Structure 1
Amino acid sequence: MTDQRQRIYLIDGSSYIYRAYYAIRQLSNSRGMATNAVFGFTNMLLKVVREERPDHLAVVFDAKGPSFRKDIYPQYKANRSAMPEDLQSQIPLIKQVVRAFKMPALELAGYEADDIIATLARRFAERGMEVTVVTGDKDLMQIVNEQVRLLDTMKDQVTGLAEVAQRFGGAPDKVVEVQSLAGDSSDNVPGVPGIGEKTARDLILQFGTLENLLANIDQVSGKKRQENLRQFADQARLSRQLVTLVDDLPLAVDYDNFSLDEPDREALTALFKELEFHKLLQEFSSDERASGEKYRAVLSGAQLDALVDSLKKAARFAFDTETTSLDAVRADLVGLSFAIRPGEGWYIPLGHRYPGAPEQLDRDLVLEKLRPLLADPQLAKVAQNAKYDMLALRRAGVEVAGLSCDTMVASYLATPAAKSHGLDTLAADLLGYRTISYAEVTGTGKNRIGFAEVAVEKATVYATEDADITLRLADKLEPLLLETHQDALFREVELPLVTVLADMEWQGVRIDAGFLKGLSADMEVRLADLEQEIHQMAGRAFNVSSPRQLGEVLFEELKLPRGKKTKTGWSTDVEVLSQLAEEHAIAARVLDFRSLAKLKNTYCDALPRLIHPETGRIHTSFNQAVTATGRLSSSDPNLQNIPIRTEEGRRIREAFVPAEGNVLLAADYSQVELRILAHMADEPALKESFARGEDIHSRTASEIFGVFLEMVTPEMRRQAKTINFGVLYGMSAFGLAKALGIGRAEAQTYIDNYFSRYPKVLEFMEAKKSEAREKLYVTTLLGRRCAVPEITSKNGVMRGYAERNAINYPIQGSAADIIKVAMVRIFRELQQQRLQARMVLQVHDELIFDVPTAEQAAMEKLVRREMEQAASLDVPLLVDLGVGRSWSEAH
């Protein structure tokens, strides 16, 4: 073992470029530039630096153009397909990253990266240095010795002399001997036909070298093998020449050239901003950081009075809360921060508890003085993710009104292609500013502390910076909203919706835990029955929940078709099982088992544990700035994914119940996306059908199958329904064929018939794809921009995905806008009329209300009116209303 100062790491850059590209798929920045390979490669580099801590390192690449091996054998690597275009475009960026980290990047025309590595490894090993080659390439096993080892960071594998001997049957010099016989299909090295790596290994173990083997062919067992060795002896020698690495290149570099310096933070900042690698940017940014000079802790009554006075006189102020939990309805206040002018602000510590903590103001006194200001609708306020702060303050007994800007929501509208609308990302992108991360003040892992344990001095800078940056971001984002024509949507819909969602989360939804417990027990019995049925079909007992054991049963013991291998065994994913289920009952039962187990675990067992101990309700979070279309999503728990097509799924909805004496009112838009399509495409036949109140799926069936409306069968209607919704999602003939279980040609005929009957729909689809190519976004009826940057991708899969989104986003996004308008209007009416009814859930096109029975008639009228008048379309907007003692009964 050599001295630590004499270690060097040589990274096989070319090998890792491909591995990074295939390990991470479909990653791009907001302009549609592919970034997956750069991201994977950068993280691989950092893994080496962080875990191995090298002080000398070089990254080695293949040079452009053919190597000398192509001259020896023109078919060398001829079987390799061309580098994917979206990978090719990332190579210069990868090299920029390496240079920005101030790591030497080596390449040499006419030679491969492996030759450079072999040369350097030999040179440094001869000097007694310890060389680690970071690679996943088996060819480099030939250079392993006492001083040289291989490290595969993606598999966390180290290859030394023992590992080489285990694979190739001897010292590293046997690697080329074995490969000369076995060849290498990936590089199109021919070897000898009929001899694989295992046989080659045995032959070299017996004869020592290729030449000795060829000199003693008569001693080889098997006539055919002897014949092949005689016939392809020169091909084996050629193969040996191709796989032998050159280790004496005249490289004008030495050990000192490979010392690692501090990275070029300015170059990395520019690169990571362009690539939108926000976590890496946070770590390596050269952006401005807070000095904290004008951030003050409020610890006395006089300081509090001065702050309250300043806030009263301010044109507007930013505020932020520090709490004990990410769950706002369970969080207790630890402190409050405020900012009026950029670069300065205040932090009021309320609940810091640690040895030596300064005396803090009484929480109730502080909130009493702040309450009138925060509740004053005339005092303009700014916050980042205001919903969280509003809920945390409401839990502390303080209402917030007068919200003039939520910077997270403003960014969501003004920069829809951005991957993140978090404060740290916005500060870097819009202000060129690097915020203090939460981990910097609380630590990480086992050493992490709660914010209440953070020293007040540290907390003051961190918390006040949040308010300060939020205020600055509002000044940046508001002009951007005007510039992108999103201001009206922001002011009239999204900003008021923040208050609506905060109230919905605060109200929560009541769950019958006893019912779920009983349902879980019923499902347990059903799962046991299914498991027994599956075991009988399999002929033995096994763990049905184990993909490995299931794969062995299906494909090795029962010999079912369509099996496909993965790295860990047989694939038993939904696609594989669904195909098998058409002909094999055991696969259908396994799908039933998995579906039931998921329902039991995700809902029956999990939901009761999420009931709030103080309210007795479940409080989901509605995410306003996540989806590409403007749709709300739900999390912790996700209440928008409860299946309704199965009996078990519908039964779970029976557990959602109103308050005592109340009913649940469910209001669901009828076929809203198809109505929006009719309006946006201006398709006369569709508009006429909706105006007449016809069943749209039956009408479509009549059109595409060429029969009278009265002659449409249930099966025709089912197929037409699939086509109607398939069109919304840009479904291809292949996709439709799969969905309907018909041939591709028949599916194409259906699609052709559809567009011949509804030609304006096809025009609309093509127009939206053209709009997306030109602008990289499409717009909804209310002007929301839905980003589709991948529409220009050189990767066909990503481009096709973006084209389908270009068709669907304007429709789905318009539906999202419409229900948001309705939510804002209904909430306003509930307040103005002082009704006790509360909006408690939103699930895509459906709203759920918890309603006192005395208000039922008024609520039905109010909800129908506001939902049906939320947008003016060329076709009527219709709402289906239902009332019941559970969500299932109401829906």
Structure 2
Amino acid sequence: MTSNKELILVDGSSYLFRAFHALPPLVNSRGQPTGAVKGVINMIRALIKGHPDANIAVVFDAKGKTFRSDIYDEYKAHRPPMPDDLRSQIEPIHEIIRAMGLPLLIVPGVEADDVIGTLADQATSVGQKTLISTGDKDLAQLVNDHVTLMNTMTNEVLDIPGVEKKFGIGPGLIVDYLALMGDKADNIPGVPGVGPKTALKWLLEYGSMEGIIENAEKIGGKIGERLRESIDLLRLSYELATIKLDVELDVKIPELVHGAEDQEFLHDLFSSMEFKTWIKELEEKGVSGSGKLDLDAGPSTAETDVEKVSVTPAETRYQCVTTEGELQELVEQFQNTKRFAFNVEFEGDHFLSARPIGIAISHELGEAFYIPIGHTEDSGQQLEADKVLTVLKPVLENPIITKSGYDLKTQRHVLQNLDIDLQPLKSDVLLASYVLNSVAVKHHLSDIARFYLD
């Protein structure tokens, strides 16, 4: 029987890692990490608000190895262990999701992707509309006339035309595409040296991975040699990249419904995390704690909600850097710091044609520097762009100094086009805004500053 309600499948594991890496480390007054909890639950709340009539289920990876490790010992073998600060937040997230009345699925031996794929396939078989909320590109292989992907942090929606526009191929070739490229994060081998451009070119020319294999002798050069040497690994990569559609589940699609909230227990959980805004929402409804949870701490004096943090420095110092001497002093100062925030101001609609006009940089509250390098009107004295970028390159590429900023993906692309490999990236204000206030219409830097600082 087909349900008229939309089914939303949340890739909880994708939410978890994106929230953890997008946000600065938040802790409660007991030093307990809470940032990933806040981010994940905020995104789920935004989904509920945006889709009030939908049935929503949340899927997480289970502990332990999966069948893919049995197929290939090296699968995900090089991944570093999950940080303790993140691991400690998983169970509180699960508890809150259950208390919200949402179905929570965790199936040993497979990944969250496989559970989502199986449920999406079951829903498709009865014509039910399904939305998968994830940031994982691998799930694009599941898109069909009934299944759509949505990236909750960017609001990007991928239906069949969307997948074709983003990847240059349809959903039916996504596994072929992923197998050819491999995946360093998951240690899927692929064909050495094959990236998105080559994979797309071959697929458009030969129609599929098997078509490429059949025509491997026609492909010349070193890349052709590597392809012919990697046929077995390529087929293995295809198997590893394929999402299962036949996982045995204890729950059926009609059972994935939003149950009643345990609001008193939610009050306890939010109190433990010290999420004051959400506590206030419940108390305005007349809800108090249930006593089910030992909060093991008195009333907190710490203002840990990001909306409440005071960022007003006692003094401010802002400097416009316009001489080589000032630039050298700045570089020497930043070489000795562990982290800094920066922003490249540029003209142009695309990073490939972007022209940098200035660089803002700061490593202490109340102190910041601006280096004009491309202003054309009323510019006054300014340094040559090439000279500034050459001097800043070692600092921007220093792997020991972490960098924070706004829309770091674009910033990194702009700098890569200028032969600067920005690394390592710490926190992104744009991603943090999507996590903490995902229902907002605008996420421009000025809007974010106005929302949190005014």
TM-score range, shorter chain: 0.5 to 0.7
Residue 205 of structure 2 aligns with an amino acid whose one-letter code is Q
**Alpha-carbon contact 1:5-1:55 (below 8 Å) kept:** no
Distance of 1:113 and 1:288 partners within structure 2: 37
Task: Tell me, yes or no, if structure 1 residue 567 matches structure 2 residue 409.
Answer: yes
5 Å matches for 1:826-865? none
- Closer, same or farther: CA 85–202 of 1 in aligned 2, 3 Å: same
5 Å matches for 1:19-30? 19-30=18-29
- Which residue, 250, 253, 272 being the options, matches 1:252? 250
Task: Tell me, yes or no, if structure 1 residue 418 matches structure 2 residue 296.
Answer: no
Residue 208 of structure 1 aligns with an amino acid whose one-letter code is G
Q: Deviations over 1:197-232 (max 9, x none)?
A: 221111111111111211111222x32122111111
**Alpha-carbon contact 2:356-2:373 (below 8 Å) kept:** no
Distance of 1:571 and 1:118 partners within structure 2: 32
Task: Tell me, yes or no, if structure 1 residue 39 matches structure 2 residue 71.
Answer: no
How much has 1:551 moved relative to structure 2? 7.8
5 Å matches for 1:131-280? 131-220=130-219, 222-280=220-278
Residue 238 of structure 1 aligns with an amino acid whose one-letter code is L
- Closer, same or farther: CA 18–545 of 1 in aligned 2, 3 Å: closer
- Closer, same or farther: CA 269–78 of 1 in aligned 2, 3 Å: same
Residue 36 of structure 1 aligns with an amino acid whose one-letter code is G
Distance of 1:551 and 1:39 partners within structure 2: 39
5 Å matches for 1:522-541? none
- Closer, same or farther: CA 203–289 of 1 in aligned 2, 3 Å: closer
Corresponding residue of 2:433: none
Distance of 1:143 and 1:40 partners within structure 2: 26
Distance of 1:179 and 1:571 partners within structure 2: 22
Q: Deviations over 1:655-691 (max 9, x none)?
A: xxxxxxxxxxxxxxxxxxxxxxxxxxxxxxxxxxxxx
How much has 1:550 moved relative to structure 2? 5.5
Corresponding residue of 2:437: none
- Closer, same or farther: CA 546–90 of 1 in aligned 2, 3 Å: closer
Distance of 2:371 and 2:409 partners within structure 1: 15
Q: Deviations over 1:54-73 (max 9, x none)?
A: 43110001111101000001
Distance of 1:286 and 1:530 partners within structure 2: 54
5 Å matches for 1:376-525? 417-419=301-303
How much has 1:248 moved relative to structure 2? 1.4
**Alpha-carbon contact 1:168-1:174 (below 8 Å) kept:** no
Larger Rg: 1
Q: Deviations over 1:261-317 (max 9, x none)?
A: 332101101101111111011123498579xxxxxxxxxxxxxxxxxxxxxxxxxxx
Corresponding residue of 1:76: 75
How much has 1:259 moved relative to structure 2? 1.6
Alignment partner of 1:158: what SS?
Answer: strand
Distance of 1:126 and 1:556 partners within structure 2: 61
Distance of 1:155 and 1:40 partners within structure 2: 14
How much has 1:168 moved relative to structure 2? 3.1
Distance of 1:57 and 1:542 partners within structure 2: 44
Residue 224 of structure 2 aligns with an amino acid whose one-letter code is Q
- Closer, same or farther: CA 288–169 of 1 in aligned 2, 3 Å: closer
Q: Deviations over 1:573-629 (max 9, x none)?
A: xxxxxxxxxxxxxxxxxxxxxxxxxxxxxxxxxxxxxxxxxxxxxxxxxxxxxxxxx
Runs of 5+ consecutive residues of structure 1 not aligned to the other structure: 291-413, 426-522, 535-540, 573-634, 637-891
5 Å matches for 1:584-663? none
Does 64-73 or 119-128 show the bigger shift? 119-128
Residue 270 of structure 1 aligns with an amino acid whose one-letter code is D
How much has 1:176 moved relative to structure 2? 0.6
Corresponding residue of 1:883: none
**Alpha-carbon contact 1:9-1:54 (below 8 Å) kept:** no
Distance of 1:59 and 1:24 partners within structure 2: 21
**Alpha-carbon contact 1:268-1:285 (below 8 Å) kept:** no
**Alpha-carbon contact 1:65-1:109 (below 8 Å) kept:** yes
Q: Deviations over 1:224-261 (max 9, x none)?
A: 12211111110000000000000112223223312213
- Closer, same or farther: CA 550–185 of 1 in aligned 2, 3 Å: farther
Distance of 1:83 and 1:35 partners within structure 2: 16
Q: Deviations over 1:635-667 (max 9, x none)?
A: 99xxxxxxxxxxxxxxxxxxxxxxxxxxxxxxx
Alignment partner of 2:157: what SS?
Answer: strand
Residue 206 of structure 1 aligns with an amino acid whose one-letter code is E
Corresponding residue of 2:367: none
Alignment partner of 2:171: what SS?
Answer: coil
Alignment partner of 1:22: what SS?
Answer: helix
Runs of 4+ aligned residues of structure 1 deviating over 6 Å after TM superposition are 545-549
Q: Deviations over 1:89-133 (max 9, x none)?
A: 111111001100010001211100000101111110121111000
Q: Which one has the bigger helix percentage?
A: 1
Distance of 1:23 and 1:542 partners within structure 2: 25
Q: Percent identity?
A: 37
**Alpha-carbon contact 1:169-1:201 (below 8 Å) kept:** yes
Corresponding residue of 1:357: none
Residue 197 of structure 2 aligns with an amino acid whose one-letter code is K
Alignment partner of 1:170: what SS?
Answer: coil
**Alpha-carbon contact 1:269-1:286 (below 8 Å) kept:** no
Distance of 1:23 and 1:109 partners within structure 2: 28
Q: Deviations over 1:532-561 (max 9, x none)?
A: x99xxxxxx984478899688746985443
Q: Deviations over 1:481-504 (max 9, x none)?
A: xxxxxxxxxxxxxxxxxxxxxxxx
5 Å matches for 1:290-329? none
**Alpha-carbon contact 1:265-1:286 (below 8 Å) kept:** no
**Alpha-carbon contact 2:122-2:253 (below 8 Å) kept:** no
Alignment partner of 1:568: what SS?
Answer: helix
- Closer, same or farther: CA 212–34 of 1 in aligned 2, 3 Å: same
Distance of 1:12 and 1:556 partners within structure 2: 46
Alignment partner of 2:57: what SS?
Answer: strand
How much has 1:52 moved relative to structure 2? 2.5
Distance of 1:206 and 1:556 partners within structure 2: 44
Residue 174 of structure 2 aligns with an amino acid whose one-letter code is V
- Closer, same or farther: CA 269–79 of 1 in aligned 2, 3 Å: same
Alignment partner of 2:113: what SS?
Answer: helix
Which TM-score applies when normalising by structure 1? 0.35
Distance of 2:256 and 2:72 partners within structure 1: 34
Distance of 1:167 and 1:571 partners within structure 2: 17
- Closer, same or farther: CA 54–15 of 1 in aligned 2, 3 Å: farther
Alignment partner of 1:141: what SS?
Answer: helix
How much has 1:418 moved relative to structure 2? 3.1
Distance of 2:267 and 2:138 partners within structure 1: 36
What is the number of residues matched between the two proteins? 340
Residue 239 of structure 1 aligns with an amino acid whose one-letter code is S
Runs of 5+ consecutive residues of structure 2 not aligned to the other structure: 289-297, 309-317, 327-354, 362-369, 375-383, 398-402, 415-452
Distance of 2:261 and 2:21 partners within structure 1: 27
